[in-house]
Structure 1
Amino acid sequence: MAMPLGDIRIIELGHVIAGPLAAALLSDFGAEVIKIEAPGRGDMMRELGPKAQDGVGVWWKTLARNKRILALDWKSDPGREVLEKLVESADVLVENFRPGVLERAGIGPEVLHQWNPDLVILRVSGYGQDGPMRKTPAFGRAAEAMSGLAHLTGYADGSPMHPGFPAADSTTGLMGALGIMIALFARERGTVRGQIVDLAVFEALLRLIDYHIPALTGAGVSPMRNGLRQPMDFAPGGTFRTKDGVWVTVSAGGAETARRLLRAVGGASFAEDPRFATMEGISAHMSEIFDRLNEFVTAREFSEVEAEFARHDAVAAPVLSAENIVAHPQIAHRGDIVSVEGDATKVVGPVPRLSDTPGSVRWLGRRPGADTAAIVKELGYDKATIERLAEAGLIAIGPAGEEMA
């Protein structure tokens, strides 16, 4: 069955996480992604983090999955000619350099749109392509700080904290993929031709947190970090450790679900206390509720907590480690952890799940220059020219046998 994005070609000049993840998410659903790396100097994600048994970085394996790898010096005149040919046949170009890098290389959006007026260009940068901070260098943690995420995470009397994954870069990748699809849809409808998607790394988190700005500007409430509880303490919940050492997270989103939660830990009399008749009342007495939750959970083994919560149609979910995730029956049933033939490394499969045109992981991140010869040949270069470009160091060809037809 044809994949839904099978006729989309993406040129990836991105590096590290934000831009490459946007392309990877679309590659899962069939987009042809050609990732360009400098000859002899690949993306730093090849070396960052632990290595698999075959010596390839596990982070690289999943960020570069389904991508064809082209080693090309696109800043040289011959390399620029190759890039122009690629752009002419592409639908999307992804880049996440600092603002001005493409322009100084002579391939800013104006030039790219001369080559291909229908090209969608995703430009990811720390603070956006314009404004007083456009040239300020940024990393994911700086973006997490600017978005408000770090301020909302941690204990009230402690320092702001960052989450256990690159939240800013990852959410930017997700938002970048969304931006690409919106721009392609507008192009398909004939509203515009190619356009620029300008995405600052802090903006995706700023949008996804969603509530902190209207809370301040609409209600005069400034959300603050609150340890194991929610920043504004508007619903009962928290993270607690059972008697047998299992961490569980407990939550309720509305008055009725909150009362079911209170009934599970304190009985009917506690749940029907007039003070808890509304969410405002529950919020006003959250410290007492949190203490009751903590007392209930810590005095019991997880199986007992789980059973009691289930009896009252409330939720106490175990906090899963990576080991728990790969062994979890529901995750296995959904097919969320996948592998490819010939590689022992498993990765998280395509999300979301489509009923008729599902995504797939066809291969994991490949070695430097793995597809260079095949790609350049497809552009019309003969064998002698390819060898001449390789000898000049303008392209790099991967190990024999790795080129994909």
Structure 2
Amino acid sequence: MIRLLEGIRVLECAMLPTGDQTSRLLGDLGADVIKIERPGTGDYLRELGDRITPQNSVFHLLCNRNKRSVELDLRGDDGRSIFFDLLRTADIFVDGFAGDACEKLGIGYAAQAEVKPDIIYCQASGFGTRGPYGQIPVHGYMMGAVAGQEQYEIDDEGVVRQVLNPQGQYFSGSIDGPLSTALYAGLTAVAALRHRDLTGEGAYIDAAGADAVLANQCLDAVMSWNADRVTDRRNPPPPVGMDPRKRPKYTWYRTKDDKIVLLAAIEHKFWDNFCRAVGREDLLDVKNTTFAVDFADGGRRDLLDELVPVFRERTAAEWVDIARRYDIPLSPANSKLDLLSDEHLRAREIVHDSVHPVAGPYTSTGWPAPVTGQPFDLRRPAPALGQHTEEVLAELGLSADEVAGLRKRGVV
């Protein structure tokens, strides 16, 4: 188990991946996460998307792992009283709702700070609270839309379509808005713990998905924003979707066993290593000697045609072995299913197998930054709605009869 945040308690009021993932990351690192849910309804992520069993969607099993679930009606005084009792035991509160929903419930940052001045209040939403979009409810693709992640075209029927791999974007891949938000929110919350320990001060964190998507595309963004200031355009990075013939040293090739590998030998030293490893010293001079990095063909327009048959001579496994032995930037280009058998990813335990007590076998991602001596595993599978209500309230000192009375009144 990763225990870096052991002893830290997180309260969560969230539905759907943005807030759920924020506290999940903290739980993966060892924090005790208590998910507070509306009685009878809870987080409808349990039913969103494909379900393995009822109330156990693939998303829920990931986003709500390492948490305890408590049903608590925050709309009444009794529920809020219990909430603030729990808050006194907490270090971080994760607000996964849009806008001022928690404030309207009487549990916003100002109300929490009165009860626990050093609380770290971490709101993780699509657009954040600061700015004119703050009250708009958000789903994942909206974060990318505001952040300029996609490009669009309009067909003859007036239908707007996303342009796949558009020219001019230097770094490819769709950015996951909710998870990006969670990463920045979680990192900032952990930094706030350090600040609290030094100063005794809490913090209000306003993490936004659109901001996070933009931050994850910062290299592409700065290329666009500073285009008019560039004075030397002789060696730009290749745009996504660029013709492989114009970037043969940094492109994909088919192997003998019909798999795909990605060659990225753009530094001169790596290109030289590649040429010697495959016995093609005649290609050593195919480089632009003006720059340390060369994305292009060095003036040899048939370079891609020379390399295609070279890659067909060996299997993907043989190419990876050559990359290791000769110090060449070259890797498999995996499909999602290939990931399950990739020896490197398996060795790093980022592909994690578990068994949920209701849903059964489940494969998900582990922790991407292993900690020596603390192998990643699940302390708690994703909970059923209210599964830990009695357990958590007992920790506050409530008796079984008192909890039964609260349940009878619909407070829990």
Both structures adopt the same fold (TM-score exceeding 0.5): yes
Which residue, 326, 334, 339 being the options, matches 1:325?
339
Partner amino acid, structure 2, of 1:46: R
| CA deviation string 1:136-176 (max 9, x = no partner) | 332211212333433498334699x9956x71111111111
Q: What corresponds to 2:405 in structure 1?
A: 388
Which residue, 371, 383, 386 being the options, matches 1:369?
386
Partner amino acid, structure 2, of 1:347: S
Which residue, 347, 354, 366 being the options, matches 1:339?
354
Which residue, 213, 220, 224 being the options, matches 1:212?
220
Preserved contact between residue 275 and residue 284 of structure 2 (Cα < 8 Å): yes
Q: CA deviation at 1:47?
A: 1.3
| Bigger Cα displacement from structure 2, 140-149 vs 170-179 | 140-149
Q: What corresponds to 1:316 in structure 2?
A: 330
Distance in 2 of aligned mates of 1:77 and 1:90: 20
Partner amino acid, structure 2, of 1:202: A
Partner amino acid, structure 2, of 1:320: N
Preserved contact between residue 119 and residue 195 of structure 1 (Cα < 8 Å): yes
- Give the direction of change, closer, same or farther, for the CA distance of 1:216–1:228 in structure 2 (3 Å limit): closer
Q: What corresponds to 1:143 in structure 2?
A: 143
Instruction: Describe the SS at the equivalent of 1:317.
Output: strand
Q: What corresponds to 1:400 in structure 2?
A: none
Q: CA deviation at 1:87?
A: 0.8
- Percent identity over the alignment is 25
- Give the direction of change, closer, same or farther, for the CA distance of 1:111–1:156 in structure 2 (3 Å limit): closer
Partner amino acid, structure 1, of 2:282: S
Partner amino acid, structure 2, of 1:237: Y
Instruction: Describe the SS at the equivalent of 1:35.
Output: strand
Preserved contact between residue 266 and residue 293 of structure 2 (Cα < 8 Å): no
- Give the direction of change, closer, same or farther, for the CA distance of 1:281–1:341 in structure 2 (3 Å limit): closer
Please, which runs of 5 or more residues in structure 2 have no aligned partner? 153-162, 231-235
Partner amino acid, structure 1, of 2:17: I
- Give the direction of change, closer, same or farther, for the CA distance of 1:55–1:16 in structure 2 (3 Å limit): closer
Q: What corresponds to 1:270 in structure 2?
A: 283
Q: CA deviation at 1:85?
A: 0.8
Distance in 2 of aligned mates of 1:97 and 1:271: 57
Q: How does 1:180-259 map to 2 (within 5 A)?
A: 180-190=189-199, 192-220=200-228, 226-227=240-241, 236-242=249-255, 244-252=257-265, 254-259=267-272
Q: CA deviation at 1:378?
A: 1.9
Preserved contact between residue 212 and residue 223 of structure 1 (Cα < 8 Å): no
Partner amino acid, structure 2, of 1:375: V
Q: What corresponds to 2:33 in structure 1?
A: 33
Partner amino acid, structure 1, of 2:347: H
Give the aligned CA root-mean-square deviation in angstroms: 3.6
Partner amino acid, structure 2, of 1:382: S
| Bigger Cα displacement from structure 2, 304-313 vs 350-359 | 304-313
Instruction: Describe the SS at the equivalent of 2:361.
Output: coil
Preserved contact between residue 241 and residue 297 of structure 1 (Cα < 8 Å): no
Q: How does 1:16-165 map to 2 (within 5 A)?
A: 16-52=16-52, 56-151=56-151, 154-156=164-166, 163=173
Q: CA deviation at 1:95?
A: 0.8
- Give the direction of change, closer, same or farther, for the CA distance of 1:92–1:65 in structure 2 (3 Å limit): same
Q: What corresponds to 2:160 in structure 1?
A: none
Preserved contact between residue 235 and residue 283 of structure 1 (Cα < 8 Å): yes
Q: CA deviation at 1:365?
A: 0.4
Partner amino acid, structure 2, of 1:181: V
| CA deviation string 1:43-99 (max 9, x = no partner) | 122112333368722321121111111111112221111111111111000012111
Instruction: Describe the SS at the equivalent of 2:133.
Output: coil
Partner amino acid, structure 2, of 1:227: G
TM-score normalised over the length of structure 2: 0.81
Which residue, 369, 384, 396 being the options, matches 1:352?
369
Preserved contact between residue 66 and residue 381 of structure 2 (Cα < 8 Å): yes
Q: CA deviation at 1:100?
A: 1.5
- Give the direction of change, closer, same or farther, for the CA distance of 1:296–1:313 in structure 2 (3 Å limit): farther
Preserved contact between residue 235 and residue 253 of structure 1 (Cα < 8 Å): no
| Bigger Cα displacement from structure 2, 18-27 vs 321-330 | 321-330
Which residue, 360, 374, 379 being the options, matches 2:396?
379
* Count of residue pairs brought into register by the alignment: 391
Q: CA deviation at 1:374?
A: 1.3
Distance in 1 of aligned mates of 2:315 and 2:192: 48
Q: What corresponds to 1:402 in structure 2?
A: none
- Give the direction of change, closer, same or farther, for the CA distance of 1:295–1:76 in structure 2 (3 Å limit): same
Partner amino acid, structure 2, of 1:390: R
